[in-house]
Structure 1
Amino acid sequence: MQAHSQLDQVTREQEAAIARRLLQANELYRYANSPDTGNGMRVHARQQAREALNVVLSHQPDHAQALSLMGRVAMDDGELDEAASLLERAYRADSGSAQTLANLGYLALMNGEPERAEQWFDEALAQDRQSAPAFAGKAYALRQQQRFDQAFLHYRALLDHGLAWDSVYAGMLECTQHLEVHQADQALAQDAIRLLAHPGLPHQELSRFVTRILRQQYAEDVAPGDWLLDAVCSDELLLLALEKTLLVDAELEKLVTRTRRALLLEIRDTGELYESRQRLAMALSRYATRTGYAQVVTEEEETFIQELDANLKVELRETFQPEDVAAGLIVRSLYGALFHQSYAQHIGRLALADWPEGMQPLMAETYYHKADEEAYKQQFEEKQDELALARADLPHAWPCWHNLRIHHEQPLKQELAQSLGIDTSSWPETVRILVIGAGSGQHAMELAHYFTDVEVVAVDENLAGLAHGNRLAQEKGLSNIVFWPYSLATRFIQDGNQVQMVEIRQLPSEGHDGTPIKTLAQQALGSGGLLHIHTGEHGASRVDVALRRMMERHRLQPTTETLRRLRRMILNNPQHEAYQELLNEPDFYATAGCRKRWFFPEDGNQLHALMDNLSSEVDWKLLRARDTDGANLATAPVVRQLQAQAFGTGTQSLVGQGLSLYFQRRR
């Protein structure tokens, strides 16, 4: 009897120890998945979770929960075969476990089987209707099947139930880029508001979604005057849109322009910027900064701003209190960056923190950020080219962005082995990536931020974009990325430095006289190196070509004044069939976007030469081809089309089709 009692006691103690180990493993896994956990600690936590689970499984080899969690850890480590074996054992041990069923769904997603994943998630929800991981997984599976409307509603439900995970917001944002909005919908407006209010999302990617909602909201013209200002001041969605994204619609641009003019006239007539109008004024200013002051300005506005400039020049020359000049600077920043005004040096006597707190985002964007970016540009010889430009013609960064897309961190070599099946064992511990045509650096910074084994060289010919990217990299604490003009990157490669991956986002402009990109890519990549190219041609639409011919015919100079005249012509004729494509492009709604399309389009000859070179199967192997929707294409027909194009057989060119192609260099 005593022996039985002692045996029961030992068994209970073992079970308690196993339960503690399992609890410890769950806590470690939760810590590993926290967005606040660095990659090194994340890997260490997963390893500790494995050790705790191994203890459990050494005592109970068929423990369903332990097997299921171990399978999920293996998935996160990229060991998909191991994960499949573990989850199969867990399923045999307990086929009714919602956790195991959900994990099988995530494994199916990683294996590129969203339909099967959806079935697993449905089975998990049948067992536990409250399973948030299963519901979120189903949303992801629907998204992978391009059933974006259903996925969007799933993400909305998750947020409504308080599950405000970053992955839920990111999934919802991606869905918005594929939704059509045919009528004003208050629920959609609230969705847009909470996405814009999230501080960590890439708000620039909400542009089309927010535009479509607001376009329906303001389908009828709003009368000018006080009623217009009152309506806009009370519209939270419009205010957030002005503060954080871009409005891609000709009628909404006219609404913004009329609102700005109405506000200025009210200030002129009353001599005061009312407190109730201050948020609107600062939102309009931040929007103007983001678009490079693309909006049309009337003569009476210009006259008022000239008078305001004269007053500010006097007020700022003496010792001043920030509150005394705040309203004047807000109004002035509606029409031009404060950094470029003749009295800018007086503003610089104050630190950003010296200004009223609510005004600091505006002051940062219109003065302090531009000062930092200008200091960065000074180190490059290309800065000399800007010295001959008028203040109004200085280039802006484009696209203008602040936040990165949300992804999970992982080693690039692991990702390439899984997605492309390439052997990276001969690559160095730190993979070097050359991003050509990096623009203002968002994609390049995402590579540097989310891949834990890379250093990135981001290259572009627009110094403003490079400076913008460099400043944001410093703000985000990234030390594994540099932003260089072509001249410096070319010297770096010609000095014998090589990279393991070249990504070509855009080609240099027609006026670029540096080393051809075909040559640069060949010199940069060694045997086994990876080349990723996008075949879309920027600024190659028929209307862009027609506008460039018009400039040549009328001998129009590539100035901001010319650009605004061309934009005004198009905005005054929005129904013209030829302009429809352009009016749907985000580029049109910013001076930097128009400048790129009309004054500095990509050099199509360089792209054709590069594609001809890639057609050689002796030198290059096409690993993957994707269309504009992200769907995989068979590689053999793409290679045949490349070769036919190179031999000039009259086949349709791949250039301009917007394909994403991955090549590996053979020798």
Structure 2
Amino acid sequence: MRHASQALTRLDPLDTGDSPSLSDLERQARHCYDQSLSSRVSNEHTVQYRGQARDLALRMLELAPDHAAALNLLGRIALDEGFYDSAETLLEQALAHNGRDAGCCFSLGHVKLALRDYDAAIRLFTRALELAPGETRAASSLVYTFARQGKMTQAFSGYRKLFRVHPDDPHIRSQLFDVARHIQADTYQPELEADVVGWLKLDDVDHDGLARLAASLLKHKYHLDDPDAVIDLQDLVRDELLQLALSRLYFTNAELESFLVMVRKQLLLHSLAGQFSDTALLRLAAAFCMQAAHNEYVYAIDEDEQSLVIALRDLLHSTLQSRPQPQPADLLSALLMYGMYEPMAELPASERLLEIATNRWPSYARPVITHCLAGPHAELREAARIERLTPIQDEVSLKVQAQYEESPYPRWLHLGYNTPTNYGRALEAELEGYRAPQFFNMGTIKVLVAGAGTGRHALRIAKYFRNVEVTALDLSARSLAYAKRMAQRHHLRNLRFLQGDILELDHLQERFHVIECSGVLHHMDEPEAGLTQLLPKLEDKGVMKIGLYSEAARHRVVAARQWIEECGYGTSRADIRHFRANLMAGRLGSQVDGLLESPDFYSTSGCRDLLFHVQEHRFTPNQLSQMLQTHQLDFLGFALPTDVRRAYTEANLGKLTDLSAWDQFEQQHRDTFAGMYQFFVQRH
């Protein structure tokens, strides 16, 4: 940080003895502004660099009134600080004097984007591209605006073209995959398949967004909607898309799952019949092992398969017991067949498999050994080392802890990418009319993620918000171990992991600028007791993000939970498999069919969390209002997808912060908050 201070001193325009030229002032102003955007500088230095850039731009205007570069810079600074009206005025002034300035068009486009005037933003980004055809940022911003408008097909096409020109741009990659979540192929398209295969081969990206698209391509490629379609296993073992998708994606499609369950059985039977002599079948089995780990072995197993899986388990156990130094050749085939159905890390004596050096396994099996075997064992060791902050003694807390120790949730594969930003500015962009407290611009921002689970959100905060220190708290040491392992993989050091109970937070002698508690309070015996414990840990004017279940949106879940209770299902993996099979076969009635649309339905921990949780409370917007009044909290607004925000605005029911209006809206649109209410509050 000393170097940043020295740079600020050197560039202080008031300390110079000479009268700098306009070009010198512009060069220094641009340098200061660029430094203010760097993720490597502190919040204080960001403010200082921005202030210096502003001073320099004002001096430029003294020398040349209406200078486009100076007005553009002042407009960008106002935009960064959330003063959209000022930014708009400055940039319109610049364009009034020089309508052919591509940079000013680009900047004003972002102001219009922030104001959600998407049509104006599109016109300005298009104009910027006409004036400067090679400007990638304008092209990317134009396509991003299409996505914000909900024009996902147009946005996908645009990002696909941009990726071909800029395949290494992390922002374009991230936005492409994010938009792809909304895209399904209408037919089998070989060119699109080739693109998806290429994207799946990329490292350090969030492939999850490709799952829906890949599933639709496979559906059309193999005519899954045709009951008379003939599928040759030899075609499948040569299918690069299938193998990559199985290895890297988590599928959430019932039709594809039924297909994969059928293929898995054929793969097992053909491999046994051929005495495991076909390496191509083993490669496909390795991909199925990875998919099984991703969904936590949730696929149904019929009686024939079950008897074979038990025989494979016994064979592996006896081999491990009888061989002083087991070799890959002794184990590989049976291990891959077994791993398609059950966790190989839970095999008796499975730790002996780790005695075999990874490089001694065939190359196609190494990811399986690392992910499905070594990873879970490392997780258990790491769980024993997680720092314990509080005792866990509440009866419900102990039950919830046991559930998540058995099934850490959610299992995630990729962290994704975002442009690093200031937490306060992100809040202002999300919440209409909100001005963030000044502390977001000063010093380190302390964030508590209460109920961090397996840590994806905590890690994203640590990586993509500037100058934050994150404390991740959870009941489950196993979940935190998963999070810690992923933090090490992503080289993140601004996190700490604590096992503890929110109900015992007196043990935590700290206060935080931000507390995020999503999907946690509604699993407590008394949700407001948890909120009461969290509030003393929040700084004055601090912000809390809360996630709670919606009564209206959980109607299918309530019906399913009644079925589960009536049928006597437990929470074991086997019971979850049986329940899912009955639901997918249509045996539980149409009122629960909508559960097939929930991504949580397609993994063991997700399904357990969705339908088998030991404790659940649900709320209405009016109940939220009452709770917030009781605790003297201001409702700042929901985190909303663009389509929901648009629908609410068009309904003309009231302000976005009017919970009684949201209550009316939700009565008409029951599935609006199918995930959860995600909302922000602030202390009076």
Q: TM-score range by the shorter chain?
A: 0.7 to 0.9
* Equivalent residue for 2:348, pick from 331, 342, 346: 342
* 1:405 maps to which of 379, 403, 416: 416
- After the TM superposition, which of the residue ranges 129-138 and 590-599 deviates more from structure 2? 129-138
1:268 aligns with 2:272: yes
Of 119, 124, 131, 2:123 maps to: 119
1:566 — aligned with what? 579
Question: What letter is aligned with 2:187?
Answer: Q
For residues 528-571 of structure 1, give each alpha carbon's deviation from its aligned partner in whole angstroms, at most 9, with x where no partner exists. 22222334449974443334333433444332222121112123
> Is this contact kept in 2: 1:441–1:469, CA < 8 A?
yes
Partner SS state of residue 458, structure 1 = strand
* Contact 1:377/1:463, CA 8 A, preserved across alignment: yes
Q: Is the 8 A contact 2:211 2:250 kept in 1?
A: yes
Residue identity in the other structure for 2:504: R
Q: What CA distance in whole angstroms lies between the structure 2 residues aligned with 1:402 and 1:242?
A: 13
Matched residues in 2 for 1:151 and 1:372: separation? 41
Match of 2:609 in 1: 596
Aligned pair in 2 of structure 1 residues 229, 45: CA closer, same or farther (>3 Å)?
A: farther
How far apart in 2 are the matches of 1:81 and 1:539? 38
Aligned pair partner of 1:200 in 200, 204, 208: 204
The verdict on how the C-alpha distance between 1:222 and 1:346 changes in structure 2, with shifts beyond 3 A counting, is farther
Post-superposition shift, 1:288? 0.4
Are 2:330 and 1:312 equivalent residues in the alignment? no
* SS across alignment from 1:604: coil
* 1:290 equivalent in alignment to 2:290: no
Please say if 1:360 is aligned against 2:366: yes
Q: Is the 8 A contact 2:147 2:179 kept in 1?
A: yes
Moved more, 294-303 or 379-388: 379-388
When residues 283 and 208 of structure 1 are mapped into structure 2, their CA distance, relative to the original with a 3 A threshold, is same
One-letter amino acid matched to 2:382: Y
The answer (yes or no) to whether the contact 1:536–1:657 under 8 Å persists in 2 is yes
Structure number with the bigger relative contact order (C-alpha 8 A, sep ≥ 6) is 2
Mapping of residues 347-426 of structure 1, within 5 Å: 347-350=353-356, 352=358, 355-378=361-384, 379=386, 395-416=406-427, 420=431, 421-425=434-438
User: Judging changes above 3 Å, is the alpha-carbon distance between structure 1 residues 131 and 516 closer, same or farther for their aligned structure 2 residues?
Assistant: same
CA 1:413–1:573 in structure 2 vs 1: closer, same or farther (change >3 Å)? closer
Residue 327 (structure 1) aligned with residue 341 (structure 2): no
User: CA shift at 1:599, angstroms?
Assistant: 1.9
The CA distance in 2 between the partners of 1:262 and 1:191, in whole Å, is 29
Distance 1:604 1:392 in 2: 17
TM-score by length of 2: 0.79
Q: 1:364-394: CA deviations, max 9, x gaps?
A: 22112111221233356779999999x9997
8 Å Cα contact 1:563/1:591 also seen in 2: yes
Contact 1:410 1:452 in 2 (8 A): yes
Distance of aligned partners of 1:76 and 1:229 in 2 relative to their CA distance in 1, 3 Å threshold: farther
Counterpart amino acid of residue 336 in structure 1: E
Offset of 1:409 from its aligned partner? 0.8
Q: Is 2:464 aligned against 1:434?
A: no
Cα distance change, pair 158–540 in 1 and its aligned pair in 2 (3 A)? closer
**Which piece of structure 1 moves more, 362-371 or 625-634?**
625-634
Indicate conservation of the 8 Å contact 1:508/1:603, yes or no: no
Q: Tell me, what secondary structure is at the counterpart of 2:355?
A: coil
Query: How many residues are matched?
Result: 644
The answer to whether the 8 Å contact 1:139/1:151 transfers is yes
Is the contact between residue 516 and residue 606 of structure 1 (CA under 8 Å) also seen in structure 2? no
How far off is 1:323 after superposition? Answer: 5.3
Kept after mapping to 2: 8 A contact 1:124/1:134: yes
Q: CA deviation at 1:463?
A: 4.7
Distance across 1 between alignment mates of 2:660 and 2:680 = 15
Match of 1:10 in 2: none
Provide the alpha-carbon RMSD of the alignment.
4.6
Asked if residue 229 in structure 1 is aligned to residue 233 in structure 2, the reply is yes
Which residue in the other structure is 2:624 paired with?
611
1:498 aligns with 2:516: no
| 1:408, distance to aligned residue in structure 2 (A) | 1.0
Residue 319 of structure 1: how far off its partner (Å): 1.6
Change (3 A) 1:508 1:282: farther
The offset of 1:584, in angstroms, is: 1.8
Q: Superposition pairs for residues 173-188 of structure 1, below 5 Å?
A: 173-188=177-192
TM-score, normalising length: structure 1: 0.81
Equivalent-residue separation in structure 2 for 1:407 and 1:508 (angstroms): 28
Cα distance in structure 2, aligned partners of 1:472 and 1:502: 22
The Cα shift of 1:58 comes to: 9.1
| Superposition deviation, residue 581 in structure 1 | 0.4
> Which residue among 196, 207, 214 is the counterpart of 2:218?
214
Distance of aligned partners of 1:630 and 1:524 in 2 relative to their CA distance in 1, 3 Å threshold: farther
Which letter does structure 2 place at the counterpart of 1:337? P
User: Which consecutive unaligned segments of at least 5 residues does structure 2 have?
Assistant: 1-20, 649-653
